[in-house]
Amino acid sequence: MTIRSLDDLGAVLREFAAEREWERFHTPKNLAMALTGEAGELLAELQWLTPEESESLTPAQRERVTDELADVLNYLVRLADVLDVDLLAAADAKIARNAVRYPVETARGNAEKR
Amino acid sequence: MTIRSLDDLGAVLREFAAEREWERFHTPKNLAMALTGEAGELLAELQWLTPEESESLTPAQRERVTDELADVLNYLVRLADVLDVDLLAAADAKIARNAVRYPVETARGNAEKR
Amino acid sequence: MTIRSLDDLGAVLREFAAEREWERFHTPKNLAMALTGEAGELLAELQWLTPEESESLTPAQRERVTDELADVLNYLVRLADVLDVDLLAAADAKIARNAVRYPVETARGNAEKR
Amino acid sequence: MTIRSLDDLGAVLREFAAEREWERFHTPKNLAMALTGEAGELLAELQWLTPEESESLTPAQRERVTDELADVLNYLVRLADVLDVDLLAAADAKIARNAVRYPVETARGNAEKR
């Protein structure tokens, strides 16, 4: 199956888990841990780089970073699937709230949290 | 703009950052930190729940968890965008590698890492 | 040098970094990333275990978890050292604040955040 | 009780949890999640700063960072206590292994992982 959307990805991951009888491991709690563990591996790839170096990755670094991004996405999509959360709708709603929280005029050039 | 795909989401987040002149903050290094910070907030929502409780969230818990999933997705998509990484292709490639690493026969009911 | 205290540990790690000329990598930002990366490895060790299983680790699991705890402590102490933060004093102050935030009577048996 | 050592801190945190009947929440799995959640809050404080800015925190930033370091330490010590792990001994053993893994001559000025 060619994966063309988050829905496709969710379906593929659901089948991957089912075939291996991994559903009992895939509680939201456990998947949140797995997701964060992969985010930690992403950090490890970038931790000693300057911000500028992180913008000009070597091919080997880029491949490892891409691999970690894939791991994060896969656990994120699997987690949303077991919770029956629509990720794109949630992202859309969050952006709408952030647009109110960080109006263009006051947020310009300033990344401070509110 | 209605967000119907990861590409749409990437474009919306790109414009959101550009309007606020946040591009200089959005290095891969910084975005990886932000992504992991949001993953940490997700953990905090689930840390004292049993795995079973995490499968039966209250409406308030579910809303907070959904919000954190949105934050993780938004930083993940923004990070992939600045790196020009195709997330779905990366996820697909990773699943193919995992299918080799965890053959159905030997992985059944066993989540141990290899 | 036998390490008998956090101060000893800070001094040993400072010398370890100095000998290897790693000071320029050891900014607070970078060390916070390294610390969290190690916390992520700790999560990975425990992610598929039930809470009960995490209380009865096998010797091999226990050794890996101990190793990750050491990594977290080392980066935490190194980070506190470069920031000149007194960790025990900070922990003490935080416990005093938490004692007010979570009075015994109302917090009993209830881990909800306030 | 004045906290003068990690052992003191472990004892204080043990009593803090016991008074509130929080022991059943304090499984290694849950505490690892709490620790990483606090590490994520630490990241959030530093994510938009340059490495240089992270070395010259404002008093307000420094206070927040110190607070997060305290949270990480408290969960780390609590986790080591429930696992009956000697943190300083583990850190010492890890440094000895790292001294072999990163010999001064070859590691000088080079933070690459081995």
Cα of A75 to nearest chain B Cα, Å: 10
Give me the residue label for tokens 């030997």. Answer: B106
pLDDT value at residue D1: 77
**DSSP alpha helix (H) spans, C27-58:** 28-46, 51-54
Chain A, nearest residue to C38 by Cα: A40
- For the segment C17-29, the average pLDDT, to the nearest whole number, is 97
pLDDT digits (tens, 9 = 90+) for A8-46: 999 999 999 999 999 999 999 999 999 999 999 999 999
Does A97 reach chain D within 8 Å, measured CB to CB?
no
Cα of D1 to nearest chain A Cα, Å: 35
**Residue A20 parent element (H or E):** none
Mean pLDDT of all residues belonging to chain D: 96
- For the segment D18-33, the average pLDDT, to the nearest whole number, is 97
Does the pLDDT value for residue D48 go beyond 90?
yes
How far lies D57's CA from each of A35, C29, C53, D46, D62, in Å?
30, 11, 41, 9, 5
Residue A48 DSSP one-character state? T
- Where in chain C are the domains? 6-107
pLDDT value at residue A110: 86
Does the pLDDT value for residue B114 go beyond 90?
no
Does D49 reach chain A within 8 Å, measured CB to CB?
no
pLDDT digits (tens, 9 = 90+) for B49-65: 999 999 999 999 999 99
How is residue A67 written in tokens? 């691999």
pLDDT value at residue D109: 86
pLDDT > 90: percent of chain D: 90
pLDDT digits (tens, 9 = 90+) for C60-114: 999 999 999 999 999 999 999 999 999 999 999 999 999 999 999 998 888 777 5
**Reported confidence tier of residue D111, pLDDT bands at 50, 70, 90:** confident
Backbone angles phi, psi at D86, to 5 degrees: -85, 105
> Do the Cβ atoms of C21 and D108 come within 8 Å?
yes
The CATH number of domain B6-84, selected from 3.40.50.1110, 1.10.287.1080, 3.40.50.280, 3.40.50.11540: 1.10.287.1080
pLDDT value at residue C31: 98
Does the pLDDT value for residue B1 go beyond 80?
no
- For the segment B6-17, the average pLDDT, to the nearest whole number, is 98
What is the interface pTM, i.e. ipTM, of the complex? 0.96
- For the segment B21-26, the average pLDDT, to the nearest whole number, is 97
The partner residue sitting opposite B111, judged by closest CB among A22, A62, A85, is A22
pLDDT value at residue A9: 98
pLDDT > 70: percent of chain D: 98
**Residue C71 parent element (H or E):** helix C59-83
**Residues of B with Cβ-Cβ distance to A99 under 8 angstroms:** 16
Q: A46, C33 in Cβ contact below 8 A?
A: yes
Does A28 reach chain C within 8 Å, measured CB to CB?
no
Does the pLDDT value for residue C8 go beyond 90?
yes
How is residue D100 written in tokens? 């072999």
**Residues A18/B39/C46/A11 CA torsion (nearest 10 deg):** 0
Superfamily of domain D6-107: MazG-like (1.10.287.1080)
Which residue, among A20, A25, A33, A53, would best test binding to C if mutated, counting the most C CBs under 10 Å from its CB?
A: A33
Amino acid making up residue D54: S
Q: A75, B76 in Cβ contact below 8 A?
A: no
Which residue, among C42, C61, C101, would best test binding to D if mutated, counting the most D CBs under 10 Å from its CB?
A: C42
